[in-house]
Structure 1
Amino acid sequence: MALASSQLRPHSGRLSYNDLDPVKHREKADFRRQVAWIPQQVTPPPGLTGGEEFAYAGRLKGMPRSNAWQASERALDRVRLDELADRKSHPVSEGRLRRRGIAAALTHRSTLILRDEPTSGLDPRQRWIFPRLVEELTGDVQALVATHQTEDRYDLYSQVVVPDKATVRFQGTAAQFHELADHGESPRAHAGSAYAHLVGKEI
């Protein structure tokens, strides 16, 4: 995720998105406007209201001040956190922290959101709500998700890549991936069963 978000530079090979190479100085700013990274731990900056926080995210991506404020309001409404627009940072649930991360990404109109362990630490209700929010964004943005939670919404993703010890064990559609599961497994167990089959591990 750090490589894909241009936080780290590759020692070899090439990384690009929409023909933009973040290693090239003249293309890095455009790359970062299109690609957003939501880490596993989302930490809001202290002392800012929700509106200020997301407008600041837009400003960091090069948006004019007025555009950033307007986009911040739209993003908060999109993730159903508009009540935080005038409230300063305070302790909130893990689910709300994840939605804050998405709001920041939507402020500068990312077309690709990188999400690291998006449902880790969420309670059962939040784990049900969060995928629905992602589905609502389909068509506006693409999502690249890194997760160990194979039981989460096995039908949510269109493509699956399974890396293991620097080797790609599988790359293909979600349907092809689930075909590797043991016969007789319940649908929700398919992903875990298919993963274990590919990497040769018991789960």
Structure 2
Amino acid sequence: MKGMTRTAAWSAAAEALARVELSGKQDERVTRLSGGQVRRVGVAQALVHEAEVLLLDEPTAGMDPRQRRVFRDTLAALSPEVSVLISTHDVADLAEDSEHVTVLNRGGIVYHGDVAGFLEHAPEDVVIGRRAEMAYAVLCGDE
């Protein structure tokens, strides 16, 4: 409860579960939830305690497309005072929702800057939906 009263914690938990569309699972043990649901529970936990920083590792792994949208919408609706740092291999997600990108390859930074600059590394003839993936490949020397 981290300093919250029982009433405040229950209320905040119910609101947080609603924000990540898990209200119907509030009586389930986390061990019985899918991987995507467990990741959303983690975000709900941060929402309960009004975290200023969220560190998310592969947050959309195991989520279906609808769950990914709900997850991205939840992050987008966070207060501007909340900083979100995402570590992911799914570059398509980061290009859509991020302001800044840092690409690491073999222990070193090969790109750090805004999303537009990151996407400029993709060849011009690449279809829009694959630009982030190709930019990453170019920066890492895979293309």
The normalised TM-score by structure 2 is 0.85
Distance 1:168 1:75, change over 3 A: same
Q: Which amino acid aligns with 1:133?
A: T
Aligned counterpart, 1:192? 133
Choose which of 45, 54, 63 in structure 2 pairs with 1:122: 63
Root-mean-square deviation (CA), in Å?
Answer: 2.1
Q: Secondary structure at the match of 2:92?
A: coil
- Higher-Rg structure is 1
State how far apart, in whole Å, the 1-side matches of 2:73 and 2:98 are. Answer: 12
Aligned counterpart, 2:24? 83
Choose which of 181, 188, 203 in structure 1 pairs with 2:122: 181
Q: CA deviation at 1:148?
A: 0.5
Distance 1:105 1:155, change over 3 A: same
Work out whether 1:109 is the aligned partner of 2:47: no
Distance 1:92 1:127, change over 3 A: same
Deviations, residues 11-68 of structure 1 (Å, cap 9, x unaligned)? xxxxxxxxxxxxxxxxxxxxxxxxxxxxxxxxxxxxxxxxxxxxxxxx2x44344433
The unaligned stretches of length 5 or more in structure 1 are: 1-58
Work out whether 1:168 is the aligned partner of 2:109: yes
State how far apart, in whole Å, the 2-side matches of 1:132 and 1:172 are. Answer: 23
Q: CA deviation at 1:116?
A: 0.7
Equivalent pair of 1:131/1:153 in contact (CA under 8 Å): no
Choose which of 78, 88, 91 in structure 2 pairs with 1:137: 78
Aligned residues: 142
Distance 1:99 1:151, change over 3 A: same
Deviations, residues 67-107 of structure 1 (Å, cap 9, x unaligned)? 3333222222222222333x141622333222111111111
Q: Secondary structure at the match of 1:155?
A: helix
Distance 1:147 1:139, change over 3 A: same
Deviations, residues 101-146 of structure 1 (Å, cap 9, x unaligned)? 1111111110111111111122233233322222222535221101
The unaligned stretches of length 5 or more in structure 2 are: none
State how far apart, in whole Å, the 2-side matches of 1:177 and 1:137 are. Answer: 24
Q: Secondary structure at the match of 1:137?
A: coil
Q: Relative to total residues, which structure has the larger helix share, 1 or 2?
A: 2
Q: Which runs of 4+ in 1 moved over 3 A?
A: 61-67
Equivalent pair of 2:104/2:110 in contact (CA under 8 Å): yes
Alignment of 1:91-106 (within 5 A): 91-106=32-47
Distance 1:119 1:167, change over 3 A: same
The normalised TM-score by structure 1 is 0.62
Equivalent pair of 2:21/2:70 in contact (CA under 8 Å): no
Alignment of 1:7-86 (within 5 A): 59=1, 61-85=2-26
Work out whether 1:156 is the aligned partner of 2:103: no
